[in-house]
Structure 1
């Protein structure tokens, strides 16, 4: 199922309506969709490097708006909408542990790591932010910074290095971003527990 969804999303990059699809995928990825917008963004930016920054802006705006929807689902409709979505993806138990043991600082850290490296998945963090009442203005600001940094860094890499960087991005950037996210989490834990 996941491979079919991935292939379908990738096929959208070749359509004339690709920008609209990018906005839709980036929007729903932040609250309910499984496939990251990068799957559509990267081939679009490689095919049209002159539009890479435009695509980054579209993806960032749509992702932040989708994140606001995720926050609203968590804040206003946790039992009715969020619980079934989390159960569908098998993330409910993990989510509940996070919900019970999470403070504002940790939510902010997760928003940054999720926005940059999908760790944890962005939809989990956006819903969790609403459930715990994370301040919406801080949520929006951190989402703009984290998601914008991800898409605009990809735009810069793709414009500068073109097709050769695609394999690197698809195979290794996730690992590099994950290592960076792990370092941020470790730093947070050290600062929190050493003080």
Structure 2
């Protein structure tokens, strides 16, 4: 695996050797979900590659960190949208994306959250929109857990299967893979929703 600077390599080695690696991963996932623009995969995949006996625990820690951040974002949308929520959307330049997702969410709810959690689109939009709309928090948490669990446990499986090559595969194909998986999940979920409505 390649690191761009000695400082980055030293930071990676420090995390890898830490007794609190799982907490650090959960914290990084929390920060990425809330505000950091740097994909956690840049750290997670190399760590998984050298800790293949702990792949699934690392995926679980990362997923739980994301879930905790998602619930805070939901709370911001529910309680503090007029202050923190609008400031965050404006400062991140998400006005158009927020308006578009709000229309999508109003129509599809759970499916919209699940899809956005997989697609390479800031998940903060889904968190704030769900909280603002009063969408049931347990359903929101379930959608976030499924979407991000698929993302991180999928990475763990890829590292288990392909080892160090996954970082190169991810850099080359992450966007296209996310789009394909997101579209497939959307189509399957909408199909199930349509089937359920026919049965009911």
Task: Give me the TM-score of the superposition, normalised by structure 2.
Answer: 0.79
Structure 2 CA distance for aligned equivalents of residues 112 and 74 of structure 1: 18
Task: Give me the TM-score of the superposition, normalised by structure 1.
Answer: 0.81
Point out where structure 1 has 5 or more consecutive residues left out of the alignment: 1-7
Structure 2 CA distance for aligned equivalents of residues 14 and 127 of structure 1: 35
CA contact (8 A) 1:25 1:36 kept: no
Point out where structure 2 has 5 or more consecutive residues left out of the alignment: 1-6
Residues matched between the structures, number: 184
Kindly state the Cα deviation for residue 152 of structure 1 after the two structures are TM-superposed. Answer: 0.8
CA contact (8 A) 1:117 1:178 kept: yes
Describe the shift of the 1:71–1:37 C-alpha distance in structure 2 as closer, same or farther (beyond 3 A).
same
Structure 1 CA distance for aligned equivalents of residues 10 and 122 of structure 2: 23
Structure 1, residues 12-57: CA drift from partner, whole Å, max 9, x if none? 5432354333211211222333223222211211121111111101
Structure 2 CA distance for aligned equivalents of residues 114 and 39 of structure 1: 20
Structure 1, residues 147-187: CA drift from partner, whole Å, max 9, x if none? 11111111011012101222112211331221232344567
Query: Which segment is superposed worse, 154-163 or 89-98?
Result: 89-98
Please name the residue that 2:73 is paired with. 70
RMSD of aligned residue pairs (Cα, Å): 2.8
Structure 2 CA distance for aligned equivalents of residues 21 and 58 of structure 1: 9
